[in-house]
Amino acid sequence: MPWTVYIARCGDGSLYTGITTDRVRRVAEHNRGLGAAYTRSRLPVSLVYWEVVEDRSRALRRESEIRRLTRGEKEVLVTSAIGSRVGGGD
């Protein structure tokens, strides 16, 4: 089953990185206050980047890589993905 690694922009402008098997459902969960504790106080969230990977293990590794990036590096990743097949606002 494919997994998605995603970056969501929170209402306060911060970025949240996570994994899911259904990015549309997951963003809806975040926006209903059912997502991560981090996003609950920073609603609404919008999907700004995603990558599809083969399995959960690879998704977890890629999520960890992205979380270690600086804010600026994450913004470059988001900007470079706009309009590409990898990710861009949903």
* Domain residue ranges of the chain, discontinuous segments joined by +: 3-81
pTM, two decimals, is 0.88
Which residues, in sequence order, are CB contacts of 40 under 8 Å at separation 6+?
Answer: 33
Query: What are φ and ψ of residue 82, in 5° steps?
Result: -60, 125
Mean pLDDT of the chain: 92
3-class SS of residue 59: helix
DSSP at 55 = S
CB 5 within 8 A of CB 48: no
Q: Between 3.30.2010.10, 3.40.50.620, 3.60.110.10, 3.40.1440.10, what CATH number should domain 3-81 receive?
A: 3.40.1440.10
pLDDT for 81 equals 76
Q: At 90, is the pLDDT very low, low, confident or very high (cuts 50, 70, 90)?
A: very low
